[in-house]
Structures are given as C-alpha cells and as structure tokens.
Amino acid sequence: MNFKKNNSRNSGFKRISSFCILFFTCFSLFALPGIKREIEDSSGEYVYYRDYSFERVAYVGFLFYDENTYQIRYYAPSDSEKKLPEKEISFYVTVDSESDYWNMTGEEVVSTIMPDTDDVTILNYLHDLLYEFSARRIKAGTVVSLGKNEISQDFVQFGGNVKIKFDNTVPVFNIKSIVDFENKSLFECCTTGKIYSSNDVSFNKFVGFTEQTTAKKTQKIKSKKIVKFAFNEKQEVSLDENWLQQTENSWTFGDESFLVLLELPHQYKDKNNDLCSLIRRMTESVDGMYSDFQNMVIVEEENGYKVTIDSCVIAKKNYIHSVYKFTKQDNSNVLVLSMSTYYDQYCKDKSYYDKIVKSYKTN
C-alpha cells in the first residue's frame, strides 16, 4: 500500500499491509494433533489470555510455530501493593504431530526457574493446561464459527464446573473464554496475533494493555464536497474532499485515518468459515500493535459481518479504532471495507466516521 508515509502517525496502520503480505503469499496451515478443524492455524499465530485464577494480574500465551513446535509464555507485571516483582516464564515444546492426542516429545525452558518457588508450580500448571486444552478441544469436535459453541465441563484447574466457549476466531485451541456457573471470568482471550518474521518480538513483548482514554474535547469535522468512489464495479463508498486517494482502492485523511476496499478470494466452501477466517486474520495483532480482543464487537449483517475493534499502539501509547465490513456474495469473492482511525481523532467526531461506513455499498 503506497499511502503517504509519516513516521509520527501512519506507522500504526500495519494490519492491512501485513495481512495482504500474508494472504497473497504461500504460508503453511496446520492443526493441533488429533484435531481436524474448520479453520486451521498458520505458522506464527498466537493467542494471549488473561488468567484470573491467580491472585495477581497474569497472562498466558500460546504461539504456534509449526505442526511440531509451540512456545508458551506466562507474564505477570509487578504489583507494588502486594509487593510482587515482575515475573516471566517462557518455554518451547515439541509434539508428535502424527499422534491423535497431545504427546510432548521435547521441551526447552528459556527462563530461569528458581527451585522451591512459585516458578515450579506455575511451570507445572502450564504443562497441565497444554494437555487439558488439547483434550477438551478434541472433545469439542466441530466448532461452529464465531463463538456459538459453549460446553459445560468439570475443570479441576479452574475450581470445578465451568463453561468453556470455543470460537474459530481464536487460534491454537480455539478457546475464547472459561467462566464459572455464575459467569465469572476465569480465563479469557485478550488478544490474538501473528508474527511475520524472526525479527518480530511481539509475542515475547506482550505485557497487557495501556489505559485507553477518550478525547478531552470534541470538535465537528468540517465536511467538504462529497464524492462517490467505486472499486471493481462491486464496491462504493462516499468520501468528502478531506480524503486523499492514494491508490485505486485506498484513501487517507491526513495522518489520522486510512480506508481501503478489498476483494479477496475465498478459502473455504462454507460461507461462515470463509468470513470467520478473514475476521480472524484481519483483526490479529501485528508487531507493536495489540488488538483488544475482549472489546471486539461482531454484528451479523446480510451476507456478512461488521466488526469493530480497538488496537493499542505500544510505542505511541495510543489506540487505533478499526471498522471492517465483510460481504460474501454467492459464488464470488469476499468484499471488504476496512477503515482505521486513531482513537483520539475518532472520538472528536464519531458521527463523521460512522457516516462513511454507512455509505459503503456492495453490488
């Protein structure tokens, strides 16, 4: 995407370009041992959970390298009130990909594990989760797209009877959340992502989210002459002259907002799996920018979905607000609108940006 570069702001709009690099190049797809699932993982995908079973803030992440190799990471920020230092435990495991269950064949711990401390207990707990999550994913069988699977199970590690929600938008184990029977969160997906190269350290650098703040002062954006733009004779969007066209299918509003129209080839015969796969890939975190999965909103529309999600740009201590519209037409490709705007700018005049999304039409 050749939109105007500005190091102060546009560095945040990585997701679309990263996604296109992934989508239009060859990449390997795999599944957990013993599982044949509707949407397979691609190398480099990961998921982080907020683990509420600890007395402190804690995150647990799983990274899928290939069909034989995974990385697991536990991270807890320092807690001055409880006088607890920052803690991190990370290790790699290899598994027998030909097995019909989770069969570990090797392990390498890359963190320092202090004997006779909580480190050993946490490491054992993470081992248990690997076996338990794999077994429960196998038991779940077919997972319907977009989180319509909820199974009640006994889970000792989480205190007994729980409800596990499975969702194809979540990679690796497809577990979206675990709650008790009073719907209290015990284990909840907080971000998903993908690393694109050996230099991408986003999985190992995740430390949670910074606080999201709204704009202190709202101000209406002065709308100028409206122009209708069409792409591939199938998509149309109305923009005013604040927007500068960069390519035949992309526009920018200063350094604040980026809009693109896409037509992508389908991957799956099942319509919902096709759309779910695109939602999953396009809302994943990329290097330096973490998607806030817990606050993602997915609304079903005619022949598709509207998705809104905010992502934290770590270096800028700011958020990007993204809106996607996915439309699957019979016997055709998937049509996509994507608009990403810095959150402080979006908050100044939400109705202005919402009106643009509403103007979007497909033929």
Distance separating alpha carbons of residues 361 and 363, to the nearest angstrom: 7
Q: How far apart are CA 356 and CA 251, in angstroms?
A: 12
Please report which confidence band the pLDDT of residue 2 belongs to, taking 50, 70 and 90 as the band edges. Answer: very low
Structure tokens at 327: 């439309």
pLDDT, tens digit, for every residue of 111-124? 998 888 899 999 99
pLDDT in tens, 200-227: 999 999 999 987 766 566 678 887 899 9
Are the CB atoms for 196 and 287 separated by under 8 Å?
Answer: yes
Q: Say what the pLDDT of residue 25 is.
A: 40
Residue scoring higher pLDDT (303 or 289): 289
What integer is the mean pLDDT of 319-335? 89
90 contacts 204 by C-beta, under 8 angstroms: yes
Residue pLDDT, tens place only, 35-45? 878 888 999 99
Q: pLDDT at residue 14 above 60? A: no
Q: Is the pLDDT of residue 126 over 60?
A: yes
**Tokens in use for 110?**
């890359």
Q: What 3-state class would DSSP assign to 355?
A: helix
Kindly state the percentage of the chain with pLDDT values over 70.
89
CA separation (Å) from 2 to 81, 206, 229? 48, 29, 18
Q: What is the DSSP secondary structure assignment for residue 328, as one 8-state letter?
A: E
The helix/strand/coil state of 41 is strand
- What's the chain's average pLDDT? 87
Contacts of 119 (CB under 8 A, 6+ apart): 87, 89, 113
